[in-house]
Structure 1
Amino acid sequence: MPANWDIRPERYDMADATALRRDYYDDVASRYWRRPATAAEIDEGLAHDGVEALTPPTGQFLVGRFDGKPAACGGVLLLDAERAELTRVFVRHAFRGTGGAPLLLAALEAAALELGARRMVLNTRLDLVEARALYTRHGYAEIPAYCEGPYMEIWYGKELAAT
């Protein structure tokens, strides 16, 4: 891992993790609504979002720091004995282009393997083109829908290789 990036597990309710989760939700909600999300809308979106499951043994939440500054986050959630779901993958705009996204993705895949998963799946929206490009660049292929919801438009999957 490049010296300026450090990605490791962190509790989802720690200050840096919470700030990153707020920025993630602000980014995806504002893009969806095509207007800035309000603080109240962000609070509502984060309330009861199931993030507490992103702790072992059911999942893991990671925070990435660039030169010590909180810059990225993501989670994996075990869906069953074989599959983990990639969720809340986010790199703050100021840190995009620094090589953190592929490192975060690799760290999340390693976390899923440690939890016992052999396959990673995810769902996203069509307008999140940067995320979709990241996933396909790193071996994710479109799969049939494995879940449904109002913000799910495309699904991806990847077999994880144990190292």
Structure 2
Amino acid sequence: MTCVTWIFSPERVDTPDATALRRDYYDEVASRYWKRPATAAEIDAGLTDDGAGLLAPPTGDFRVARFGGEPAGCGGVLLLDGGGDGGGVRAELTRVYLRPAFRGRGGAGALLAELEDAARALGARRMVLNTRLDLIEARSLYARHGYAEIPAYCTGPYMEVWYGREL
């Protein structure tokens, strides 16, 4: 019997697998927001200059999750505060996504733990994130893993609730 496991690896956001996963992520969150399928042009526009290039050392990290060798999900962390000795440094959790076919297999929690480890390795002491109220599954995931609502640390059109936790 073969045991299928989750594998997480740092990857540039512009590799073919990372690009496809980022497109799928944007498609899902935009389509849910607009209550209609996002077009390819809208996805392209949403990914243009989206800051994902910062999800690489020394400012961040991006991970691709594979299940049974198949690209199944992704996520990133972005340092928000200066380096120094790491005291008080916050990292933002962003672009956390699992393709629907891979949900329910323990990957979301494992990906979250992987991203928290990546943030610690960058010197972060606290993880923060923002999301929308309609992304109930994401909000449930964060609450199950010790994230609590916090005051807004940033603003934007798609930000409705903020979470944080100590690492």
User: Which residue number in structure 2 is paired with residue 123 of structure 1?
Assistant: 130
User: Which residue number in structure 2 is paired with residue 61 of structure 1?
Assistant: 62
State the secondary structure of the residue aligned to 1:148. Answer: coil
Quick one: which amino acid aligns to residue 94 of structure 1?
A
Name the CA distance, whole Å, in 2 between partners of 1:74 and 1:46. 15
How far did 1:26 drift?
Answer: 0.1
User: Which residue number in structure 1 is paired with residue 85 of structure 2?
Assistant: none
Pairwise CA RMSD of aligned residues?
A: 0.8
2:158 is aligned with 1:151: yes
Provide Cα deviations, 1:100-129, integer angstroms capped at 9, x if missing partner: 000000000000000000000000000000
Name the CA distance, whole Å, in 1 between partners of 2:165 and 2:21. 26
2:145 is aligned with 1:138: yes
- Mapping for residues 1-163 of structure 1, pairs under 5 Å: 3-81=4-82, 82-160=89-167
Task: Give the structure-2-normalised TM-score.
Answer: 0.94
State the secondary structure of the residue aligned to 1:74. Answer: strand
Structure 2: 5+ residue stretches without partners: 83-88
How far did 1:3 drift?
Answer: 4.8
How far did 1:8 drift?
Answer: 1.4
Name the CA distance, whole Å, in 2 between partners of 1:159 and 1:103. 17
Name the CA distance, whole Å, in 2 between partners of 1:95 and 1:42. 22
State the secondary structure of the residue aligned to 2:13. Answer: coil
Task: Give the structure-1-normalised TM-score.
Answer: 0.96
4+ residue runs over 6 A deviation: none
Change (3 A) 1:3 1:118: farther
Provide Cα deviations, 1:1-52, integer angstroms capped at 9, x if missing partner: x852101111110000000000000000000000000000000000000000
Name the CA distance, whole Å, in 2 between partners of 1:111 and 1:53. 14
- Of all paired residues, the percent bearing the same amino acid is 74
State the secondary structure of the residue aligned to 1:113. Answer: helix
